[in-house]
Structure 1
Amino acid sequence: MFNNVTIVGVGLISGSFAIALKDKGFAKHIIGVSRTRESEQKALELGLIDEALPLNEAIKKSDFIYVAIPVDATIPVVKDILDQINETQIVADAGSTKQALCNAIQNHPMRHRFVATHPMWGTEYSGPEAATRQAFTGRSCVICEKQLSDIDAVQKIEHIYTTLGMHLVYMQPDAHDVHAAYVSHISHITSFALANTVLEKEKEEDAIFDLAGGGFESTVRLAKSNPAMWAPIFMQNRENVLDVLNEHIVQLRKFKACLEKENYDYLKELMENANKIKRILH
């Protein structure tokens, strides 16, 4: 479908996306753009990209430009790309927040060549080495403000994601950010907080290593995530994250009060209510 595709950022999401584009025959040649020479070299060695170029040179050569970098950097970079593209090129992003970006480019004359997307997949690892095959299969991908993008651009992006095995969901940017706070962002904050709690109270690293079973490991796994990526997400989605965080604190206080007052009937009730999540997450 595309002769030349540029991925801006050569990490987990973009690297996995590049592998998938090649595997499915969507891209003949992939250009990588990165802030560091080290990342570019690693991506070349791993075969994620075919060449590394500065952004301006990569844009000139590309049919499709895919931006997967921290969300605070995404806004100026997408604006820069839109300033340079023509009417046949397509731009898409993979950011975990959507409203700030969509607001920032809403009046740009080339907004119609941009498709705002969020493939709902990730791991706690980062960098080119973290890229994997089959990363997106069975996951959801949110597309925002579809009506503001050209039909041909949207259709091509939709075709890519569905061919990768993704389920498409359509939302406005503000709704996306609310729901992402509830099902993604709070999970990361909770994981970071739990890791800090254990590190604060348990001073014996051997005990953490030896006794941390599957439950702790799966709950705290996200605490390994890259702060350079997650701090900007929390900042951009601050109001929604604060809202869900306040509710989470309320729920924690309920468990605390049950134990303080030895109210084990209500403790059991709280857990039984939580079990209802099984209906949704099979």
Structure 2
Amino acid sequence: MNNIYVIGVGLIGGSLAIDIKKNNPEVVIHGIGRNDNTLDEALALKLIDKKATLEDLGQADLVIVSIPVDATVKILPTVLDNISDNGLVVDVGSTKLDICKVVENHPKRRNFLAMHPIAGTEYSGPSAAIEGLFVGKTNIVCEVEKTTFKLQEKALKLFTDIGMRIRYMNPEAHDKHIAYVSHLSHISSFMLGKTVIEKEKNERDIFDMAGSGFASTVRLAKSSPEMWTPIFKQNKDNVIETLEEYINNLTHFKDLMKGDDFEAIFNEMKQTNHIKDILNGIN
């Protein structure tokens, strides 16, 4: 894969470009985006070698679509229209069902691989791209059987070579599970930030008391609304289900507090401590 085109050279697209280029110096990375200033920044940062347009995709061996999921749904059929029979298109979206559905009947469906590398930071844009972002991270691949084997084989090697672990899942299961372990975390962080900001209006020194625990919990509230609003929209039903369960647990905790049942609170927290064993087992 000598000609790689990245549509959306931000945190994920740019970080992929860095690591792929490091492992394959002969590869030419082409950047595509709506904002020419962003592409100029990506060039200056040496994330890409050249700027390109969608009309150039006939020359692509691999196209990485790394833009908000609503934009991916709109542009993906056109991207597939433009690639050659030997080109492969992958996306990195945090939702998979709508993306898979929009191309399920496309004549070049077998030239598309739906995937979600579960990695990132709270920052966005070309300057957020970093080397080694994907080392040890899980890359969820959906509907792998619908992608031509010789193309998926080349792509998966490219991604495992930069440190990813590959896991396979259907789009419905992916969207349901990711609502719990990613989407709910972001909503919780945004709402915690909102709660504290509203309190800070009246108590100006509240952030002087914010320690590392608060900083780590609210970190995701710095994430891009332009990226996350479409994710919540596409995964609405699953997100609402997880929110209902989360709210029920918060309400239960509040009721225990009101009832002065601190023994039950201790037991709840003690049982939840088991999560450290689970997380240690997968990290």
Shared fold, TM over 0.5: yes
TM-score computed with the length of structure 1 as normaliser: 0.96
* Counterpart among 83, 86, 95 of residue 84 in structure 2: 86
What's the counterpart of residue 98 of structure 1? 96
Contact 2:4 2:63 in 1 (8 A): yes
Q: Please report how far the alpha carbon of residue 204 of structure 1 lies from its aligned counterpart in structure 2 after TM superposition.
A: 6.2
Q: Does 1:221 align with 2:219?
A: yes
What's the counterpart of residue 28 of structure 2? 29
Q: Does 1:151 align with 2:133?
A: no
What's the counterpart of residue 173 of structure 2? 175
Distance 1:42 1:206, change over 3 A: farther
Residue type of the partner of 2:38? S
Q: How many positions carry a matched residue from both structures?
A: 280
Residue type of the partner of 1:86? S
Q: Please report how far the alpha carbon of residue 175 of structure 1 lies from its aligned counterpart in structure 2 after TM superposition.
A: 0.5
Q: Does 1:72 align with 2:70?
A: yes
Q: Deviations over 1:8-62 (max 9, x none)?
A: 00100000000011001175211101111111110010000011122222x1332
What's the counterpart of residue 41 of structure 1? 40
Aligned partners of 1:23, 1:87: CA distance in 2, in Å? 27
Aligned partners of 2:251, 2:212: CA distance in 1, in Å? 25
Aligned partners of 2:258, 2:26: CA distance in 1, in Å? 60
Contact 2:115 2:139 in 1 (8 A): yes
Distance 1:218 1:49, change over 3 A: same
Aligned partners of 1:247, 1:119: CA distance in 2, in Å? 26
Residue type of the partner of 1:25? N
Residue type of the partner of 2:13? S
What's the counterpart of residue 50 of structure 2? 51
Q: Please report how far the alpha carbon of residue 202 of structure 1 lies from its aligned counterpart in structure 2 after TM superposition.
A: 2.1
Q: Please report how far the alpha carbon of residue 203 of structure 1 lies from its aligned counterpart in structure 2 after TM superposition.
A: 2.2
What's the counterpart of residue 201 of structure 1? 199
Residue type of the partner of 1:49? I
Using the TM superposition, name which of 59-68 and 230-239 deviates more: 59-68
Using the TM superposition, name which of 185-194 and 60-69 deviates more: 60-69
Q: Please report how far the alpha carbon of residue 272 of structure 1 lies from its aligned counterpart in structure 2 after TM superposition.
A: 1.1
Contact 2:3 2:59 in 1 (8 A): yes
Q: Does 1:12 align with 2:11?
A: yes
Q: Please report how far the alpha carbon of residue 209 of structure 1 lies from its aligned counterpart in structure 2 after TM superposition.
A: 3.7
Aligned partners of 2:203, 2:263: CA distance in 1, in Å? 35
Q: CA RMSD in A?
A: 1.2
Aligned partners of 1:25, 1:260: CA distance in 2, in Å? 60
What's the counterpart of residue 241 of structure 1? 239
Secondary structure of the corresponding residue to residue 113 of structure 2: strand
**Unmatched tracts of structure 1, length 5 or more:** none
Q: Deviations over 1:100-152 (max 9, x none)?
A: 01111101010001000100001100000000000100110000001000001
Aligned partners of 1:208, 1:177: CA distance in 2, in Å? 37
Aligned partners of 1:188, 1:122: CA distance in 2, in Å? 12
Aligned partners of 2:244, 2:53: CA distance in 1, in Å? 43
Q: Identity of aligned pairs, percent?
A: 45
Q: Does 1:110 align with 2:108?
A: yes
What's the counterpart of residue 191 of structure 1? 189
Aligned partners of 2:151, 2:249: CA distance in 1, in Å? 44
Q: Deviations over 1:42-100 (max 9, x none)?
A: 0010000011122222x133211110000000012111011122211111010000000
What's the counterpart of residue 133 of structure 2? 135
TM-score computed with the length of structure 2 as normaliser: 0.96
Q: Please report how far the alpha carbon of residue 207 of structure 1 lies from its aligned counterpart in structure 2 after TM superposition.
A: 2.6
Contact 1:21 1:27 in 2 (8 A): no
Contact 1:26 1:160 in 2 (8 A): no
Q: Please report how far the alpha carbon of residue 210 of structure 1 lies from its aligned counterpart in structure 2 after TM superposition.
A: 2.2
Aligned partners of 2:22, 2:33: CA distance in 1, in Å? 22
**Unmatched tracts of structure 2, length 5 or more:** none
Contact 1:4 1:27 in 2 (8 A): no
Aligned partners of 1:205, 1:8: CA distance in 2, in Å? 44
What's the counterpart of residue 269 of structure 2? 271
Residue type of the partner of 2:205? A
